[in-house]
């Protein structure tokens, strides 16, 4: 689609280059044999002869392979020579070659929205291979109905909508900061909304990272400073997104102080305290990360019940000291029991999925503990160890061999206090025996779950989350960083449990997507959207509530409905809802469908 084409923002119906030729008086029909795929069960020659007599048809031809180069040349040549103002290609499903034939028509100067496909292969020749006569009759009826549709098609131009080249990032963890820096370094403004008091997310608690025990604190600090000092990044701490409206290229987002900020003795919000501020942005990245399932939901492992049973993030904090000390009495623990999969892979009590990062960080924590407390013992309860990733398996081996970490296969059945120790009972279901460990401290590798309020945020943004609250990608394999809403992208653990390397990769991919969007002069949208016939509209508002996309509103002054073309998806719900037939979707007008009904039942001919 060239930006050089003259574009009419509002597309008055019937005012295009070809409208002068009259409405569908010179239609060409091109019937494809598809080798024997169609011609084998449909008499294409007879079909061509019959449809030649239809109202508005100027010519009808059949040809071996319409999508081939000579087939397309035939179409282009006929359009030019016969001055066609609409065509029907009777061939395979529109999902196969509609775009091909529209391009061919456009190359010959015919508006591509006056090209229709009669599906006589998938929906006729292939399913009626036994009855050539009836298949031929059906093909003729289908072609006749599409001829009627073309007769009512207006020439349309794609809609162009402008892009606001400013990004909103929600969440100031490693994911959000990475996206913000990439996009700001490329020259665009970024607003980074973090509900906590500081940037950094969970990594603030994590001093060293697997698998090489790389120190994290210094690089994280550098990153935070770069974000805070970047001239094009505006950080809003203690802030949350209250609402969002608009669409790709043009969102309006209201940011307000986070619940919990500005409380007496609490941290200060950098958002406008008075009801929130509005920001115009063209794209949004969701990077709200994760949290651990609360200890109170891990009662079977002593969580929230038994002193000196902590979750793994808490243990990262304890490890940050020179020697870790247990919470109850400040004693250095001589034996630490780690329980993996606490709440994970347990659809009944916790979550059904694997939290992915626990096997590796448990090995890391056990190793670090053994370094800090050389005469201490580390025991790990596992169902099995999952170590997909470069050098990950070697790292767990290192914990076992070099760190003398003892791995016990067993599902933990009970955790209870005895004197000043915590007893962990496990069952090795394979070997059929029980194991018991008396520890000074128990660390639960608690399940990774979406951060609080993720599902609610998803609703505000109209970006779907899954049943657990993780943000959903548009396609699990092919579009992994886009949400299901155009212009909203995903990064990091907000989408699923991820480690740092995966989080950063996705954040960079999301930044690339945003930059791709910002590099376009304008966004091009299908013009087959709804319009209002103002002279028929009574301003009743029924269509406004029927629209699932908030694309319609009432103009209070004129007392008629209006359509925001950029939001309209062309679903047609408003058309049916309107009691005055004042709504139409371009090129899907009710008269067209009614005429098609007449055609398939043999009203025309």
Ligand X SMILES: Cc1cc2nc3c(=O)[nH]c(=O)nc-3n(C[C@H](O)[C@H](O)[C@H](O)COP(=O)(O)OP(=O)(O)OC[C@H]3O[C@@H](n4cnc5c(N)ncnc54)[C@H](O)[C@@H]3O)c2cc1C
List residues near ligand X by CB under 6 A: 170-176, 193-196, 201-203, 206, 209-210, 240, 287-290, 292, 312-313, 316, 357, 361, 364, 451, 453, 457, 492-494, 498-501, 503
Q: Residue 129 interacts with another protein (CB under 8 A)?
A: yes
Q: Is the dihedral of CA 353, 359, 360, 365 positive or negative?
A: positive
Q: How far is the CB of 425 from ligand X (least distance, A)?
A: 24
Which of 115, 118, 517, 547 touches ligand SF4 by CB under 6 A?
547
Q: Please identify which residue in the block is written with the tokens 């997507």.
A: 513
Q: Residue 128 interacts with another protein (CB under 8 A)?
A: yes
> How many chain residues touch ligand SF4 (CB under 6 A)?
42
Q: Residue 123 interacts with another protein (CB under 8 A)?
A: yes
Tell me the per-residue interface mask from 35 to 54 with ligand SF4, x by CB under 6 A, - otherwise.
--xx----------------
Contacts (Cβ under 8 Å, ≥6 apart) of 185: none
Q: Residue 598 interacts with another protein (CB under 8 A)?
A: yes
**Cα–Cα distance, 498 to 506 (Å, whole number):** 10
572: alpha, beta or left? (left if phi > 0; alpha if psi -120 to 50):
left
* HSE (side-chain half, CA atoms, 13 Å) at 50: 19
> Which of another protein, ligand SF4, ligand X, none sits in contact with 594, Cβ below 5 to 8 A by type?
another protein
Q: Residue 573 interacts with another protein (CB under 8 A)?
A: yes
Structure letter (DSSP) for residue 413: E
Q: Is the dihedral of CA 483, 487, 490, 494 positive or negative?
A: negative
By beta-carbon proximity to another protein, the closer residue of 137 and 340 is 137
Task: From residue 276, give the alpha-carbon distance in Å to each of 193, 207, 251, 473.
Answer: 12, 35, 16, 29
64 CB burial (10 A radius; 0-12, 13-18, 19+): middle
CB 283 within 8 A of CB 511: no
Q: Residue 472 interacts with another protein (CB under 8 A)?
A: no
- Of 202-210, 289-297, 498-506, 534-542, which segment contacts ligand SF4 by CB under 6 A? 534-542
By beta-carbon proximity to ligand SF4, the closer residue of 568 and 596 is 568
CA 25 to the chain's CA centroid: 44
By beta-carbon proximity to ligand SF4, the closer residue of 75 and 491 is 75
**Cα–Cα distance, 269 to 550 (Å, whole number):** 32
Task: From residue 170, give the alpha-carbon distance in Å to each of 179, 280, 344, 494.
Answer: 10, 14, 27, 10
Q: How far is the CB of 575 from another protein (least distance, A)?
A: 6
* HSE (side-chain half, CA atoms, 13 Å) at 527: 23
Q: Residue 570 interacts with ligand SF4 (CB under 6 A)?
A: yes
Q: How far is the CB of 601 from another protein (least distance, A)?
A: 4
Q: Residue 212 interacts with another protein (CB under 8 A)?
A: no
**Cα–Cα distance, 142 to 601 (Å, whole number):** 10
Which of 307, 515, 546, 554 touches another protein by CB under 8 A?
546
Which of 21, 96, 408, 484 touches ligand SF4 by CB under 6 A?
96
Q: How far is the CB of 142 from another protein (least distance, A)?
A: 7
Residue 224's φ and ψ, nearest 5 degrees, are -60, -45
**Cα–Cα distance, 308 to 304 (Å, whole number):** 10
By beta-carbon proximity to ligand X, the closer residue of 357 and 565 is 357
- Of 54-62, 137-145, 475-483, 492-500, which segment contacts another protein by CB under 8 A? 137-145
Largest Cα span, the chain: 98
Contacts to ligand SF4 from residues 66-85, by CB under 6 A: 66-67
Q: Where does this chain bind ligand SF4 (CB under 6 A)?
A: 32, 34, 37-38, 65-67, 91-92, 96-97, 121, 529-530, 532, 537-543, 546-547, 549, 551-552, 561, 563, 568-574, 577-578, 580, 582-583, 585
* Site of interaction with another protein (CB under 8 A): 93-95, 119, 121-124, 126-131, 134-135, 137-138, 141-142, 145, 546, 548-549, 569-573, 575-576, 585, 588, 590, 593-594, 596-598, 600-603
């Amino acid at each position: 689609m060239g930006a050089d084409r003259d574009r009419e923002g509002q597309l008055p119906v019937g005012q295009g280059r070809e409208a002068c030729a009259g409405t569908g008086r010179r239609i060409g029909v091109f019937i494809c044999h598809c080798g024997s795929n169609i011609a084998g069960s449909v008499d294409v020659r007879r079909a061509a002869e019959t449809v030649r007599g239809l109202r508005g048809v100027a010519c009808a031809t059949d040809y071996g392979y319409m999508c081939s180069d000579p087939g397309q040349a035939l179409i282009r040549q006929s359009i030019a020579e016969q001055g066609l103002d609409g065509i029907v290609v009777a061939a395979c499903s529109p999902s196969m070659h509609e775009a091909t034939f529209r391009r061919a028509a456009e190359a010959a100067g015919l508006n591509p929205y006056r090209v229709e496909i009669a599906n006589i292969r998938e929906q006729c020749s292939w399913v009626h291979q036994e009855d050539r006569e009836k298949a031929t009759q059906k093909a003729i009826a289908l072609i006749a109905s599409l001829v009627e549709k073309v007769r009512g098609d207006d020439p349309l131009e794609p809609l162009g909508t402008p892009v606001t080249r400013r990004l909103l990032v929600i969440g100031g963890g490693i994911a959000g900061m990475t996206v913000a820096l990439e996009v700001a370094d490329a020259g665009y403004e970024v607003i980074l909304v973090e509900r906590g008091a500081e940037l950094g997310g969970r990594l603030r608690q994590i001093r060293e990272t697997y698998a090489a025990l790389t120190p994290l604190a210094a690089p994280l600090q550098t990153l935070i400073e770069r974000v805070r000092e970047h001239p094009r990044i505006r950080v809003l701490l203690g802030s949350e997104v209250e609402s969002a409206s608009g669409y790709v290229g043009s969102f309006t987002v209201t940011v307000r102080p986070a619940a919990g900020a500005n409380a007496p003795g609490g941290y200060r919000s950098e958002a406008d305290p008075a009801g929130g501020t509005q920001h115009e942005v063209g794209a949004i990245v969701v990077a709200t990360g994760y949290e651990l399932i609360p200890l109170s939901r891990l009662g079977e492992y002593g969580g929230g019940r038994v002193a000196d049973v902590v979750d793994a993030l808490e243990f990262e904090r304890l490890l940050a000291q020179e020697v870790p000390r247990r919470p109850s009495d400040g004693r250095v623990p001589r034996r630490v029991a780690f329980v993996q999969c606490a709440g994970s892979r347990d659809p009944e009590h916790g979550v059904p999925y694997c939290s992915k990062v626990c096997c590796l960080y448990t090995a890391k924590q056990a190793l670090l503990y053994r370094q800090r407390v050389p005469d201490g013992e580390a025991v790990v309860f596992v169902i099995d160890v999952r170590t997909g990733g470069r050098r990950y398996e070697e790292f767990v081996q290192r914990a076992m061999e070099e760190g003398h970490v003892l791995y016990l296969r067993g599902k933990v059945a009970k955790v209870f206090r005895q004197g000043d120790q915590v007893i962990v009972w496990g069952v090795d279901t394979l070997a059929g025996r029980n194991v018991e460990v008396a520890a000074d401290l128990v660390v639960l590798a608690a399940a990774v779950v979406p951060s609080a309020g993720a599902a609610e945020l998803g609703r505000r943004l109209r970006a779907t989350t899954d049943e657990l609250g993780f943000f959903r990608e548009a396609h699990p394999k092919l579009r992994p960083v886009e949400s299901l809403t155009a212009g909203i992208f995903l990064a990091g653990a907000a989408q699923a449990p991820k480690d740092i390397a995966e989080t950063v990769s996705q954040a960079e991919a999301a930044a690339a997507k945003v930059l791709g969007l910002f590099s376009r002069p304008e966004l091009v949208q299908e013009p087959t959207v709804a319009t209002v016939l103002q002279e028929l509209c009574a301003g009743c508002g029924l269509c406004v509530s029927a629209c699932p996309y908030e694309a319609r509103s009432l103009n209070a002054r004129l007392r008629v409905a209006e359509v925001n073309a950029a939001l309209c998806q062309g679903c047609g719900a408003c058309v049916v809802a309107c009691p005055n037939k004042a709504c139409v979707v371009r090129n899907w007008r009710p008269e067209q469908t009614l005429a098609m009904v007449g055609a398939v039942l043999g009203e025309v001919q």
